[in-house]
Amino acid sequence: MTPSSSLTTEGKLEVGEETRDQILVEMRAIWKRFPGVIANQGVDFELRAGEVHALLGENGAGKTTLMNILCGSYRPDAGAIFIKGESVGFKSPAQAIAAGVGIVHQHFRLVEKLSAAENIHLGWEQTPWDISMTKLAERTQQICSEYGLHVDPRAKIWQLSTGEQQRVEIMRVLARGARILIMDEPTAVLAPIETVELFRVIRSLAASGRAVVFISHKLDEVLEVSDRITVLRGGRKVATRLTSKCDRRTLARLMIGQEVVFHKLDKVPVDGKTIVDLQDVCALSDRGLPALIDVSLRVKEGEILGVAGVAGNGQRELAEVLTGLRPLTRGTIIIDGEDLSRASPIRLARAGVGHIPEDRIGMGLVRSASVTHNAILREYWKPPISVGARMDNREAAKFARKLVKKADVRVPNVRVPVRNLSGGNQQRLLAGREMLIASRLLVAVHPTRGLDVAATEEVRKVIVEHRNAGSGVLLISEDLDEILIMADRIAVMYEGGIIGLFEASAADREEIGLMMGGARPASDTHR
Partner 1 sequence: MKAEPSSPRTFPWRLQRQIGVTPWAGLLARGVAVLLALIISGVVIELGGLPAIDLAKRAIESTLGSAYGLQQAGLLATSLILTGLSVAVCMRMRIWNIGAEGQLFMGAWAATAIGIHIEGPVIPMFLAMFLAAAMAGALWILVPALVRAYWNVNEIITTLLLNFVAILFVNHFSMGPWRDRVVGVLTATYRIPYELPSLVGTLHIGILIAILIAIGLYFVFNNTRWGYEVTTIGRNRRAAEFTGMPVTRNILIVMLLSGAIAGLAGAIIVTGTAHRLSGFISNEYGYSGIIVAALANASPIATIIAGFLLAVLLNAGIVLSTQGLSVNAVIAINGLILLFAAIGEVAASYRLVRDVEEGPGESPIGGPQWGTPVESAAGAVDTGQGGEVET
- Interface residues with partner 1 (CB under 8 A) are 33-39, 65, 73-75, 77, 91, 323-325, 344-347, 349, 355, 357, 359, 361-369, 373, 376-378, 380-381, 386, 389-391, 393, 410-412, 417, 419-425, 449-450, 452
CB of 111 to partner 1, least distance (A): 17
The amino acid that residue 457 corresponds to is E
DSSP line for 88-103: E--SSHHHHHHTTEEE
Q: What is the layout of strands, in order, in the sheet containing 228-233?
A: 101-104, 180-184, 211-216, 52-56, 228-233, 236-242
Listed in sequence order, the residues at least 6 apart from 446 whose beta carbon sits closer than 8 Å to its beta carbon are 358, 476, 477, 478, 479
**Minimum distance from CB of 73 to partner 1 (Å)?**
6
- Give me the least distance between CB of 292 and partner 1, in Å please: 19
Closest separation in Å from C-beta 309 to partner 1: 18
CB nearer partner 1, residue 172 or residue 449: 449
Other CB atoms within a 10 A radius of the CB of residue 75 amount to 12
CB 464 within 8 A of CB 471: no
Asked if residues 231 and 237 have their Cβ atoms less than 8 Å apart, the reply is: yes
- Cβ 480 to partner 1 shortest distance, Å: 20
257: left (phi over 0), alpha (psi -120 to 50) or beta: left
Q: Which amino acid is at 338?
A: E
Q: What are phi and psi of 385, to 5 degrees?
A: -70, -50
- Tell me how far, at minimum, the Cβ of 211 lies from partner 1, in Å: 24
Least distance in angstroms from the C-beta of 437 to partner 1: 10
Minimum distance from CB of 34 to partner 1 (Å)? 4
Shortest separation between residue 405's beta carbon and partner 1, angstroms: 13
Closest CA to 310 of 136, 494, 77, 37: 494
Considering the complex, state which of residue 76 and residue 496 has its C-beta at the smaller distance from partner 1.
76
Cα–Cα distance measured from residue 107 to residue 116, given in angstroms and rounded to the nearest whole number: 16
Query: 360-369 long-range contacts, Cβ below 8 Å, gap at least 24?
Result: 360/426, 360/427, 360/430, 361/426, 364/430, 364/434, 365/418, 365/426, 365/429, 365/430, 366/418, 367/417, 367/418, 367/419, 368/417, 368/418, 368/419, 369/417, 369/418
Strand partners, 503: 489
Smallest gap from Cβ 61 to partner 1, in A, equals 13
For residue 272, how far is the Cα from the chain centroid? 33
- How far is residue 40's CA from residue 157's CA, in Å, rounded to a whole number? 35
